[in-house]
Amino acid sequence: MNKQKLMSLVEKPIALLVAESSSASRIRKLHTKHAVKPHFIPKKYRIFNGILQSLNIQFGNYIERLVAEIFTFDKKYEAVLGYSGSNKRKFKISAKVNRLIDAHIDTMQVASLDERGLEAAYADLIKKIINLREDDSEGVFELQHDIDLLIQEKTGVKYYFEIKYNDDHDTGKYIDINRKFIKTYAYLIREFKISDPSQLRAYLSYFSKKKMKGNIYVPEKSSILRGDKLIEGFSSAKYSDLEEVFSEISENAETLAIFDKLYNQVVKS
């Protein structure tokens, strides 16, 4: 995938994203919200900041869709319909598997394993999940959330991606992200009756290359993808081209005009 095609994939959706987040109705809602909040920062600046925060959140959601488009562009992979996307769905895992995953999370918080030790512990966890995938002797645990992306090759080999824009341990949701990732992997193992882990690979994925301190729940080498390893590992696109596309869009005259207009509309009105 060349840079021109990447630009066409990115440019129009980003413009729509900005338009939706800064619509007149959105601004009115922010006026109402901030009118009742005592604060020393002028209301119009809080409203403008609220729009920017909303754009940051929506951009993270947009990245999931962009990665899906990039991965399926070359026709090597196809999205598994009914599973990929932002719609929440109910699914079940064995109560035994659920406790097994929770125990892994608790144990890893105090285990202080090196990468090699974590690889072994995680591989053992997945092996146990596969062995217990249909053991409902102690009941079933039900979850409800979305699956970011599930693609497959023509051979039937599947790849599950939990996609985040950035690796940020300060969100307070770091443990929850890892727990959700492993439990969703366990659900897919059960759903597709996986007996060999090579038939369904799971990756905790970050669009940005930024890396905080090492993940203590999921091994970096085999199960985490960042930046170029994510994009170039599953498509013909170049991560450096994507970086250039976003840089060009953020600084071009049209984008600057959109944000200047928004600033004038909110702050200078």
pLDDT in tens, 76-89: 999 998 887 756 77
Per-residue pLDDT band for 169 (boundaries 50, 70, 90) equals: low
Distance CA 108, CA 129 (A): 17
Predicted TM-score (pTM) of this structure: 0.89
Structural tokens at position 182: 């492993």
Q: How far apart are CA 214 and CA 27, in angstroms?
A: 40
Winning range, highest mean pLDDT, from 40-44, 57-61, 86-90, 196-200: 196-200
Average pLDDT, the chain: 89
Tell me: pLDDT of 28 over 90.
Answer: no
Q: What is the pLDDT of residue 78?
A: 94
Mean pLDDT in residue range 29-49:
86
List of long-range contacts for 162-165, beta carbons under 8 Å, 24+ apart: 162/202, 162/203, 162/204, 162/205, 163/63, 163/64, 163/67, 163/205, 163/206, 163/207, 164/60, 164/204, 164/205, 164/206, 164/207, 165/59, 165/60, 165/63, 165/206, 165/207, 165/208
**C-beta of residue 185 within 8 angstroms of C-beta of residue 122:** no
| The two structure tokens encoding residue 133 | 């995938």
What is the pLDDT averaged over residues 145-153? 91
Please determine, for residue 92, whether its predicted confidence score (pLDDT) is greater than 70. yes
pLDDT attached to residue 170: 55
Averaged over 3-22, what is the pLDDT? 83
The pLDDT tens digits for 176-208 are 899 999 999 999 999 999 999 999 999 999 999
Supply the DSSP symbol for 36. T
Specify the pairing of strand 77-79 against strand 149-153.
antiparallel
Q: Write down the pLDDT at residue 172.
A: 57
Q: Could you tell me if 206 and 164 are in contact, meaning their C-beta atoms sit under 8 angstroms apart? A: yes
Tell me what the mean pLDDT of segment 143-161 comes to. Answer: 92
Integer CA distances (angstroms), 94 to 124, 199, 201, in order: 17, 20, 20
DSSP letter at 96 equals: H
* pLDDT tens for each residue of 95-106: 999 999 999 999
Taking Cα atoms as reference points, which of 187, 186, 162 lies closest to residue 173? 162
User: Tell me: the pLDDT tens digits for 203-260?
Assistant: 999 999 888 778 999 999 999 999 999 999 999 999 999 999 999 988 988 888 888 8
- Single out the residue of 192, 184, 182 nearest to residue 126, CA to CA: 182
Q: Rounded to the nearest 10 degrees, what angle do helices 174-191 and 115-131 cross at?
A: 40
Give the max Cα distance, the chain.
65
- Domain-wise residue ranges, the chain: 1-73+238-269, 75-234
Predicted confidence at residue 146, as pLDDT, reads 85
Q: Is the pLDDT of residue 118 over 60?
A: yes
Cβ-based neighbours of 200, under 8 Å, separated by 6 or more: 157, 158, 159, 160, 185, 188, 189, 192, 194
